Structure 1
Amino acid sequence: MHFWCLRMKQTLDNATQQDSPDFLSYCSGGGGDGGRGGGGGAGAGAGAGEDRWTCRYRATHGSPSTQPNFVILLMDDVGFGDITSFWNPQNLTASTPFVDYMAANGISTFIRASTLIPNLASARTGLTNVPFPTTQGGLPINETTFGETFSKAGYKTGVIGKWHLGQQGDFHPNSRGFDFYFGLPYSPGMGCADDVGFSVDDRVPCPKDWSEMPRCSAVSWYACQGEEGLNFPALPLLNGREIVEQPLNMTYLSLRYTHAAEIFITEREISTPFLLYVGLQHMLAPFYHMPAFTGMSARGDPYGDALLEMDWVIKTIVNVIAENGEAERTLIWVARGGGSSSKATVWEGGHRVPALAYWPGTIEGGRVSDEIVSMMDIFPTMASLAGVDMPGNRIHDGIDITNIVLNKPFSLQRRALFHPLNGYEKDDDNRKMGAVRVDQFKAVYVTGGLPECGGKVGPAVSHNPPLIFNVKEDPMESSPINPASSEYRFILMKVNQALVELELSLAEDNTSFVDYSLNPFVMPCCNPPNVVCRCH
């Protein structure tokens, strides 16, 4: 039976069981004296103040865990102006009403991210993501993911959507501490689909047979694709390690992700806490959305409609948790990864990303924090809240921000965040730092050299001494501090000290290196050696 047909059958079977008179009597109240059928007996009945759904779930799955659940919802390439709650309160075309609701009932902030991945492992790998479907490597094996850390602590762990840290062998999420995986393992722009979506680029559907394969003079396979305007391989949908559809239907991918989240959350013993990471396809080009969202956003264009669908996905997953009676046991992070200019800009537009933490009954709502926090802080904060030890084989760049999240007294020491232009690996003689953030100041060493919105690439300009901005007072980075001022000299001294400390820590740390070499034989394909790769 097909995966989703089986899921629907299970849903109907469960509904039949749970709505039986015996079950309804058990969950109709009565406190500790009310057993099944309403009379004494062995059953405990619905406890005082316990909603019917919680009672239903407890009756079939056991008592809840005392450890919190965690959900990380990572938006892709969403601009901070796209969400009304962040820097855009007057934007009448914003299309994220539920994310706005979460921000109003949680704590919202801008977090600083130097990579696309929210610390699935230490930020010191030199790895932002695996760039191509044919990349042989992935997240180095000696790196410890939060999946491995929490799985060892008894959590059920899962990834839905974009993984982007390798899809072969030991690099697959099922080999990196995650019990559950369902999704497209990399970006939708790294392959073809039959539905081309909306993009500024001219895209064509996947070839249906050999007659539609490109014929060109280029020696390189990728160069040949470029000549013909094609993009291979066909995008795969993975359920665990199995390719269940290729090319996948991008138009309805969000619906399938919400179904997968429901399966992961509900089909487990409630006594087992869970950690779920969801890498959303939104808003990475090309844009897709289900027909039901066409023209429904205030913007009324494909971007706004896709943004509205993203908001619906987040709402649906949050509602599944609430309907499971686990809202007050679940900390939900919503953040944005990615950035403009091929994910390599050092400007705030690529690093100052919207984020919020939502935890009904625990996080005081309506708060906005201007503390300097980072994607890297999510891992140690979750570990602290769960009472789980961080891996001991590394120097960790993230810090525990529990007190910020829970609005308790805290004292952040001076903090430095680094934005390298490459992996900044300790044995790389060509490594170059793009920017360094110390407190509210940012030193910028390189500008330009990256594609603009129209595709034009200007020259890279090095700045020595660096441009320094007070990004708290000047977030647009329009007015650098005068290099002749005493303030500039004092800040530069602090920046140089931070760089020295970084070098010393790299020399002492258990750093690792990434294999970016390409091999077409590792390309996901459901029916090799046929390059068309079609199966449903």
Structure 2
Amino acid sequence: MKRLVVALLVAIVLTSFLALPVPDKAGHPNVILFFMDDMGYGDLSCYGALGYQTPHLDKMAAEGTRFTNFLVAQAVCTASRAALLTGCYPNRIGLYGALGPNSPIGLNSSEETLAELLKEQGYATGIFGKWHLGSQPQFLPRQHGFDEYYGVPYSHDMWPLHPAQASANYPPLQLIEGDKPVKAVNTLEDVSELTSSLTHRTVQFIRKHKKEPFFLYVPHPLPHVPLAASTRFRGKTARGLFGDVIEELDWSVGQILDEVKKQGLDKNTLVIFTSDNGPWLNYGDHAGSTGGFREGKGTTFDGGHRVPCIIRWPGKVPVGRVSNKLLSTLDILPTVASLCGARQPTQKIDGVSFEALLKGDESAAPREQFYYYYRRNSLEAVRKGDWKLVLPHEGRSYEGQLPGTNGMPGKAPENHPFPLALYNLGRDPGERYDVKDVFPAMVTELQRLAEEAREDLGDDITQRPGKNVRASGIASK
């Protein structure tokens, strides 16, 4: 009799438990953010690449929205990553260039990252790949909102074996687990294992956190030089090693999205794919393609700033759509935070939410203007709509230079003079035809916009400090 009573009580409890409402995760979608390194606008087959195929990313584009007017905040590693994770122009928060292994600066702890905002909402957070926002212990990902970290702290060309920088005296490059080095990256064979190992760790993270909302940041170290592909992909494409590397990265995306589907998470997962800047063109056959835009990495022309961007979220983001609206990596933080029910950062940011546009409102135009800063804090161009005013400056230029081969770079002078010039990117996306003499009123309007930027963010060229810039973090001694 007692057994029967116990059995009935257990049945009642189980029935009551099963009748409880299932937690609604609609307001807390999973987020996967892929961030490639030095992948140009023309480096996916859905953006016109030749000599290899990217079927998984092409499928992602077909199942989501492909953006064609998407800009990075700066065309260089550290600065671009700082903007992505904080929604700020990197010069606003004191970061610039590509920080070396021994740099005493990094992302200030007072800056709020997307990982920190989502963590407040109960998200599990992980990064698997390249960090490059400071390699000192206080600057590593776990100090900026990430629960798990496995990857390299900076670019993998900052190592003793760099063929063109043997005199740089770089320390050995280490893979980091959490906050501690776990394995040296000493050879190109070690580099060839990065894509597969990071993919494996990402898949493990999805399995581990499938019952809670998660934010996954996957900043692959490749196709930044030196290039290396695993034996499975090596020698497979007509484009040579560069094509092999891209096909392996495409495989990685496919593996991760397949795992999302296997775990039944597909309809509640927002996936964003983009790159940190355009291709490093003087590396020739080891560099990617700008898709016809002018110049490349390390310049403020669109070959350096315009990158591929694909966003997929079944049932929320329109499928098979191409959007030509102006957007930036600055805009990812405010958009994702809004979609996930998180608050916005307390300090001033520069990103704007494009949630309405993302969900299909074609009348939405969230971003109208953009500032092209480079070096420490040099304003080199401003944009409003289709109009771009290049301000007088000296900078890198690849044009007229013979590119390198087999991993060795060609020349790319850093002091090429660029005069004042006005371009209509709607008609002249290659920035070839200076029309400042035809549209003097537009020059005046964009010069006014440049003055607003200098007042707010400063400008080294005109020796303006800026009223609203903040300091980077400084490593404690």
Q: 1:462 to 1:295 in 2, by over 3 A?
A: closer
Residues 346 and 447, structure 1, Cα contact 8 Å, conserved in 2: no
Verify: 1:65 aligned to 2:29, yes or no.
no
Which residue is 1:77 aligned to? 38
**Displacement after TM superposition at 1:92 (Å):** 4.3
| TM-score, length of structure 2 as denominator length | 0.81
**Displacement after TM superposition at 1:500 (Å):** 3.0
Which residue is 2:150 aligned to? 182
Q: 1:165 to 1:467 in 2, by over 3 A?
A: same
Which residue is 2:359 aligned to? 406
Which residue is 2:443 aligned to? 492
Q: 1:457 to 1:155 in 2, by over 3 A?
A: same
Query: Which of 218, 228, 253 pairs up with 1:288?
Result: 228
Measured in 2, the distance between the counterparts of 1:458 and 1:134 equals 23
Q: How does 1:185-204 map to 2 (within 5 A)?
A: 185-192=153-160, 202=163
Residues 82 and 94, structure 1, Cα contact 8 Å, conserved in 2: no
Verify: 1:374 aligned to 2:342, yes or no.
no
Which ranges in structure 1 are unaligned for 5 or more consecutive residues? 1-38, 48-61, 194-200, 204-221, 425-431, 523-536
Measured in 2, the distance between the counterparts of 1:335 and 1:391 equals 23
Which residue is 1:423 aligned to? 376
After superposition, give the CA deviation of every residue in 1:192-233 in whole Å (9 maximum; x if it has no partner).
Answer: 47xxxxxxx737xxxxxxxxxxxxxxxxxx8xx42xxx8632
Q: How does 1:267-416 map to 2 (within 5 A)?
A: 267-268=208-209, 270=211, 272-299=212-239, 301-340=240-279, 343-394=297-348, 396-412=349-365, 415-416=368-369
Residues 73 and 330, structure 2, Cα contact 8 Å, conserved in 1: no
Residues 76 and 336, structure 1, Cα contact 8 Å, conserved in 2: yes
**Displacement after TM superposition at 1:65 (Å):** 2.7
Identity %: 29
| TM-score, length of structure 1 as denominator length | 0.72
**Displacement after TM superposition at 1:317 (Å):** 1.1
Q: 1:232 to 1:416 in 2, by over 3 A?
A: same
The residue identity in structure 1 corresponding to 2:339 is: L
Residues 120 and 342, structure 2, Cα contact 8 Å, conserved in 1: no
Measured in 1, the distance between the counterparts of 2:178 and 2:467 equals 33
Measured in 1, the distance between the counterparts of 2:208 and 2:447 equals 52
**Displacement after TM superposition at 1:137 (Å):** 1.6
Which residue is 1:219 aligned to? none
Measured in 2, the distance between the counterparts of 1:373 and 1:99 equals 20
Residues 109 and 473, structure 2, Cα contact 8 Å, conserved in 1: no
Which structure has the larger Rg over C-alpha atoms? Answer: 1
**Displacement after TM superposition at 1:261 (Å):** 0.6
Measured in 1, the distance between the counterparts of 2:414 and 2:143 equals 41
Query: Which of 389, 396, 404 pairs up with 1:443?
Result: 389
**Displacement after TM superposition at 1:334 (Å):** 0.3
The residue identity in structure 1 corresponding to 2:413 is: V
Which residue is 1:243 aligned to? 181
Secondary structure at the residue paired with 1:332?
A: strand
Q: 1:324 to 1:63 in 2, by over 3 A?
A: farther
Query: Which of 46, 54, 59 pairs up with 1:96?
Result: 54
The residue identity in structure 1 corresponding to 2:33 is: I
Secondary structure at the residue paired with 1:307?
A: helix
Which residue is 2:6 aligned to? none
Which residue is 1:142 aligned to? 110
Measured in 1, the distance between the counterparts of 2:192 and 2:50 equals 26
Residues 393 and 510, structure 1, Cα contact 8 Å, conserved in 2: no
Which residue is 2:195 aligned to? 254
Secondary structure at the residue paired with 1:492?
A: helix
The CA RMSD measured in Å over matched residues stands at: 2.9
Q: 1:317 to 1:446 in 2, by over 3 A?
A: farther
Measured in 1, the distance between the counterparts of 2:160 and 2:218 equals 22
Corresponding pairs, count: 419
Measured in 1, the distance between the counterparts of 2:195 and 2:418 equals 42
Q: 1:98 to 1:43 in 2, by over 3 A?
A: farther
Measured in 2, the distance between the counterparts of 1:44 and 1:349 equals 60
Secondary structure at the residue paired with 2:254?
A: helix
Residues 135 and 516, structure 1, Cα contact 8 Å, conserved in 2: no
**Displacement after TM superposition at 1:256 (Å):** 1.0
Query: Which of 407, 430, 434 pairs up with 2:380?
Result: 434
Q: 1:414 to 1:74 in 2, by over 3 A?
A: closer
Which residue is 1:528 aligned to? none
Secondary structure at the residue paired with 1:170?
A: helix
Query: Which of 422, 445, 452 pairs up with 1:501?
Result: 452
Measured in 1, the distance between the counterparts of 2:393 and 2:456 equals 27
Q: How does 1:113-152 map to 2 (within 5 A)?
A: 113-115=72-74, 116-117=80-81, 118-121=83-86, 122-123=88-89, 124-128=92-96, 130-152=98-120
Secondary structure at the residue paired with 2:244?
A: helix
**Displacement after TM superposition at 1:242 (Å):** 1.7
Which residue is 2:207 aligned to? 266
